């Protein structure tokens, strides 16, 4: 049963000055998830100086945050669906799987069903709940059209351990990407901050004023006339990091509809390659290898997912140039 609501007022002190409104409220109201509080902020239930603000609003010294203490959010129940998943490893604590391209990781507006979470609940009904009940078992994400290795927690302690490893950058993440153009060297490093695009809120950018540190190392595995196969090592975990960083060095990932299509000065793809890429219908990015410490014994473990067929077909066509 939800507890009754009551009024509250909180005056911002030096310790909280400059922080985002949603982050401060998540600290004040630890029983509520940050995403739930963001909804209440947008609806005007929680205000600053009696004025509605955005969740990203930066609080100033002396600001007064007020509103009604919200009731505990009702638990979200998602339906288990018999969607096939390719499990690479499973034990009592976790599942490692190879996510196919086209599969959304968790339910969200526009995708209430048919997600990886729905599939996992059919396979394992008692998935661990982390800080967000909308994503049972989910520790990290891959974009809908990115394939590859993911780890899922079965127990809360495992979820906490893995989440800590990701936060502390103890997890090693390697990707394979087919990018446009010819590389000038055989390896390199992209050290550019990533944040929300200044004008398009659905995109990320390396030119935003409030970017967060991000680093990607790349290694040339195969060079073709108009494209290259790269191995990427993501040293951080920003949204769209691989896609944004490849575009930033003017070698966007093939098939990326957001960061690649209008970039000038890149090699033109042959018609045959363009057709195979069109048939694939997604960016040529694959989460190839994941290394972490198993929460049960602290031993380092590595899991790999073979390159999917659509990327292999693109490489095969590129090799015929």
CA atoms within 13 A on the CB side of 43: 10
The CATH classification number of 7-68 equals 3.10.290.10
Instruction: Decide if pLDDT at 210 tops 50.
Output: yes
CATH 3.40.50.2300 at 86-164, yes or no:
no
List pLDDT tens digits, range 303-314.
Answer: 999 999 999 999
**H or E element, residue 96:** strand 94-99
Cα–Cα nearest to 243, from 179, 307, 288, 170 = 179
The β-bridge relationship of strands 300-304 and 285-293 is antiparallel
Split at pLDDT 50, 70, 90, the class of 135 is low
Split at pLDDT 50, 70, 90, the class of 109 is low
- More confident of the two residues 132 and 302: 302
Instruction: Decide if pLDDT at 128 tops 80.
Output: no
Instruction: Decide if pLDDT at 77 tops 90.
Output: no
Instruction: Decide if pLDDT at 17 tops 50.
Output: yes
The β-bridge relationship of strands 300-304 and 172-180 is unpaired
Q: How large is the average pLDDT for residues 160-170?
A: 94
Measure Cα distances from 26 to 32, 35, 178, 199, 299 in Å.
7, 9, 40, 27, 33
Split at pLDDT 50, 70, 90, the class of 262 is low
Tell me, yes or no, if 6 is annotated catalytic. Answer: no
- More confident of the two residues 19 and 129: 19
**H or E element, residue 311:** helix 309-318
* Active-site pick, 22, 63, 143, 256: 143
Numbered ranges of CATH 3.10.290.10 in the chain: 7-68
Numbered ranges of CATH 3.30.2350.10 in the chain: 86-164, 172-318
The CATH H-level superfamily of 172-318 is Pseudouridine synthase (3.30.2350.10)
Nearest-5° angle of CA 179, CA 180, CA 185? 75
Most confident of 146-150, 191-195, 237-241: 146-150
């Amino acid at each position: 049963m939800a507890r009754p609501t009551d009024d509250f007022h909180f005056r911002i002190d030096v310790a909280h000055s400059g922080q985002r409104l949603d982050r401060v409220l998540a600290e004040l109201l630890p029983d509520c998830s940050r995403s739930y509080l963001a909804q209440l902020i947008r609806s005007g239930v929680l205000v600053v100086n009696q004025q509605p603000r955005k969740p990203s609003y930066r609080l100033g010294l002396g600001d007064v945050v007020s509103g009604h203490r919200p009731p505990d959010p009702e638990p979200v129940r998602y339906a288990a669906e018999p969607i096939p998943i390719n499990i690479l490893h499973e034990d009592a604590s976790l599942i490692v799987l190879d996510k196919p391209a086209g599969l959304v990781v968790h339910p969200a507006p526009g995708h209430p069903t048919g997600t990886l979470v729905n599939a996992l609940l059919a396979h394992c009904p008692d998935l661990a709940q982390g800080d967000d009940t909308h994503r049972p078992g989910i520790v990290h994400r891959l974009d809908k059209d990115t394939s590859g290795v993911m780890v899922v927690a079965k127990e809360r302690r495992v979820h906490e351990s893995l989440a800590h490893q990701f936060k502390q950058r103890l997890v090693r993440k390697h990707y394979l990407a087919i990018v446009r153009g010819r590389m000038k060297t055989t390896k390199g490093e992209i050290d550019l901050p990533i944040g929300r695009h200044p004008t398009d809120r659905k995109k990320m950018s390396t030119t935003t004023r409030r970017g967060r540190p991000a680093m990607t190392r790349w290694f040339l595995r195969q060079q073709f006339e108009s494209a290259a196969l790269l191995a990427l090592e993501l040293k951080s975990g920003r949204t769209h990091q691989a896609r944004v960083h490849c575009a930033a060095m003017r070698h966007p990932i093939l098939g990326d509809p957001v960061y690649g299509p209008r970039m000038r000065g890149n090699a033109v793809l042959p018609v045959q390659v363009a057709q195979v890429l069109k048939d694939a219908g997604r960016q040529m990015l694959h989460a190839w290898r994941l290394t972490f410490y198993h929460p049960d014994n602290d031993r380092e473990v590595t899991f790999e997912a073979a390159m999917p067929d659509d990327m292999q077909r693109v490489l095969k066509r590129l090799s015929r140039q």
